Amino acid sequence: MRGDDAICGQFLKYIDLEKRVRRKHPLRAIRVIVNATLKSLSGEGTTASISSCGCVSGQSLRISRKTGAAASPDIRNRAQAMKISALLTSIIAIGVVGCSVMPTAGPTASEIFDQATAGGGGHFEIVNVDNRIVEVLRAEPAASLPTDLKRGKPPPLRIAIGDTVSVTIYESTAGGLFGTAPAETAPGAAATRTRSSTIPEQVVALDGAISVPYAGRVPAAGHTPLEVQQTIEKRLAERAIEPQVIVTVAKSVSNAVTVSGENMSGARVPLSLGGETLLDIIAAAGGAKAPPHETLVRLSRGGVITTIPMGTLVAASAENIYAWPGDVITLLRVPQTFSVFGATLNNTQLPFGAERINLAQAIAKAGGLQDVRADPAGVFLFRFEPPPVASAVKAPAFATAPDGRAAILYHLDLQQADGYFLAERFPVKEDDLIYVANMPTVQLQKFFTLVATISGTVIGAAAVITQSTASSSSAIGAAVLTKSTAP
């Protein structure tokens, strides 16, 4: 608040308000009014004016010693003191406002429109919400798995290295390579004979083969159990008696799906010949612990990683695809959230609490609009939209996000009754930012509150000074009177 106007903007790093305060700001009109008021009071020995930087001029409060000496005895009534205190209050209040910026929660609706692409050269576009815009956004397709992953059931299961295989060989009559001859029994007892033999379970070795007596090393890795069975039968055809072979996979390492995630111990779920869907695998592993609308399913297959909400798998059967051998499924708990700023009861980040919500529900979650601050005609939703959506809402696709999405600012007027119907249909997405602007009069109200606070203090101080001056004058007068009447 100190310094000469000539060095405004330099001394003590003053803010040059001619550049800082916009052209249509109410402070400019206030400055004109106050300057005219100060000019009208200049005949009373005080001259003052507000400089271009918003500060009280360094020469504005010059009261000559002569004027001061003459004025001091004249300040004997309360009306004169009030007039001077009102002048000082105006100067102090404008000085405070001129040398600082009033606090605010954000831009007003008019300031946002001024900063938009069309008017202020910003990097976002304002789209006024109407029925067409709502229908375009509601028609936007939900998240879906890539087409190349939707290939139906997996191919027949094949044996892999590390799998545990069991082989059973049957012959048509007893006494062959894998059967036993009738055993000698007591007279009258039935003869016992066997015509099959089960080879102990064995793990497919690194060479991809298993050992079968009289058949040697039989290739198994990469083949189906039926193909391994036929190979063994051909090799034993010249040795065994009409051999029949059954090959079973007791434990498969490769024909399984790995499931992991939050609040899960993790599991390897083997696949059956009939095939299991993603939801089947998740259920076999113990199921998701979080609500479906807060759970994401991440599928890794063949080097491709994709993520889809659990709710979509439940609601759309086309997305609940079959699991393939080697798939890795990860369950992630990621609550969907949105943020609210401005003239609402609560400025915070809030969870959806459901699979989807609309704009009316989102504002209600934040406590609604503040009656003394909010501008119902200035409700905005900030969102980055992909180029197809930006084109559909007829907004220039200014790619301002790293992934090429466009910054779109949706504007909704809740001062109109139909705005509430639009808000009930307008879909809110994850990471949306909702902003409710203040009424233009809020800043002016803050200014007058500040002035009232300062004026109350100054007027109180002036009253004390006036009372003290009056007491001193009375004492002096009494002393003079006493002296003049003394003998």
pLDDT digit string (tens) for 326-347? 899 999 999 999 999 999 999 9
Q: Is the pLDDT of residue 216 over 60?
A: yes
pLDDT band, very low/low/confident/very high, at 107 (cuts 50, 70, 90): confident
Whether residue 345 is found in the same domain as residue 370: yes
Q: Is the pLDDT of residue 256 over 80?
A: yes
Q: Map residue 337 onto helix, strand or coil.
A: strand
Q: Is the pLDDT of residue 348 over 50?
A: yes
Whether residue 51 is found in the same domain as residue 135: no
Pairing of strands 256-261, 267-270: antiparallel
Considering the domain boundaries, does residue 214 fall inside one? yes
Considering the domain boundaries, does residue 298 fall inside one? yes
Considering the domain boundaries, does residue 472 fall inside one? no
Whether residue 261 is found in the same domain as residue 245: no
Whether residue 343 is found in the same domain as residue 325: no
> In the prediction, which pLDDT does 362 show?
96
Considering the domain boundaries, does residue 447 fall inside one? no
Whether residue 209 is found in the same domain as residue 122: no
CATH number of the domain to which 205 belongs: 3.30.1950.10
> In the prediction, which pLDDT does 407 show?
86
Tally of domains in the chain: 4
Selected residue with higher pLDDT from 260 and 443? 260
User: What does 198-242 look like in DSSP terms, one character per residue?
Assistant: EEEEEE--TTSEEEETTTEEEE-TTS-HHHHHHHHHHHHTTTSSS
Mean pLDDT over residues 106-120, rounded?
74
Considering the domain boundaries, does residue 118 fall inside one? yes
> In the prediction, which pLDDT does 147 show?
81
pTM: 0.63
Considering the domain boundaries, does residue 461 fall inside one? no
Token pair for 285 = 């592993």
pLDDT band, very low/low/confident/very high, at 83 (cuts 50, 70, 90): low
> In the prediction, which pLDDT does 431 show?
92
Mean pLDDT over residues 365-377, rounded?
92
CATH number of the domain to which 396 belongs: 3.10.560.10
> In the prediction, which pLDDT does 267 show?
87
| % of the chain beyond a pLDDT of 90 | 34
Q: Is the pLDDT of residue 201 over 90?
A: yes
pLDDT band, very low/low/confident/very high, at 393 (cuts 50, 70, 90): confident
Q: What b-and-e string marks burial along 184-209, b requiring 16 or more CB atoms within 10 Å of the CB?
A: eeeeeeeeeebbebebeebebeeebb
For 122-134, the pLDDT digits (tens) are: 567 889 999 999 9
Dihedral angle over CA of 453, 456, 462, 468, nearest 10: -120
pLDDT band, very low/low/confident/very high, at 93 (cuts 50, 70, 90): low
For 136-167, the pLDDT digits (tens) are: 999 988 788 888 788 778 888 889 999 999 99
Selected residue with higher pLDDT from 236 and 446? 236
Selected residue with higher pLDDT from 50 and 437? 437
Closest alpha carbon to 79 in 478, 462, 484, 486? 462
Whether residue 431 is found in the same domain as residue 350: yes
Mean pLDDT over residues 244-256, rounded?
89
Whether residue 372 is found in the same domain as residue 288: no
Whether residue 351 is found in the same domain as residue 319: no
Mean pLDDT over residues 357-371, rounded?
94
Token pair for 159 = 């044996």
> In the prediction, which pLDDT does 89 show?
58
> In the prediction, which pLDDT does 255 show?
87
Q: What are phi and psi of 140, to 5 degrees?
A: -65, 130
> In the prediction, which pLDDT does 2 show?
42
> In the prediction, which pLDDT does 61 show?
42
Whether residue 300 is found in the same domain as residue 266: yes
Q: Is the pLDDT of residue 477 over 70?
A: no
Of 251, 282, 315, the residue that ends a domain is: 251
Selected residue with higher pLDDT from 187 and 448? 448
Of 188, 221, 251, the residue that ends a domain is: 251
Q: Is the pLDDT of residue 299 over 70?
A: yes
How distant, in Å, are the alpha carbons of 56, 452, 456 from that of 461? 21, 14, 9
Considering the domain boundaries, does residue 449 fall inside one? no
Strand partners, 256: 270
Mean pLDDT over residues 263-268, rounded?
81
Whether residue 358 is found in the same domain as residue 301: no
Of 265, 299, 333, the residue that ends a domain is: 333
> In the prediction, which pLDDT does 10 show?
47
Whether residue 246 is found in the same domain as residue 268: no
pLDDT band, very low/low/confident/very high, at 176 (cuts 50, 70, 90): confident
Closest alpha carbon to 429 in 345, 362, 329? 362
> In the prediction, which pLDDT does 45 show?
47
CA dist 32 and 302 (Å) reads 73
| % of the chain beyond a pLDDT of 70 | 66
Q: What's the alpha-carbon Rg for the chain, to the nearest Å?
A: 44
Mean pLDDT over residues 424-444, rounded?
89
CA dist 92 and 1 (Å) reads 9
Domain that holds residue 82: 1-101
Mean pLDDT over residues 62-78, rounded?
46
> In the prediction, which pLDDT does 22 show?
65
Whether residue 294 is found in the same domain as residue 381: no
Mean pLDDT over residues 269-295, rounded?
89
> In the prediction, which pLDDT does 60 show?
45
For 28-65, the pLDDT digits (tens) are: 767 776 676 656 655 544 455 555 554 545 444 444 44
> In the prediction, which pLDDT does 51 show?
54
Mean pLDDT of the chain: 77
Considering the domain boundaries, does residue 482 fall inside one? no
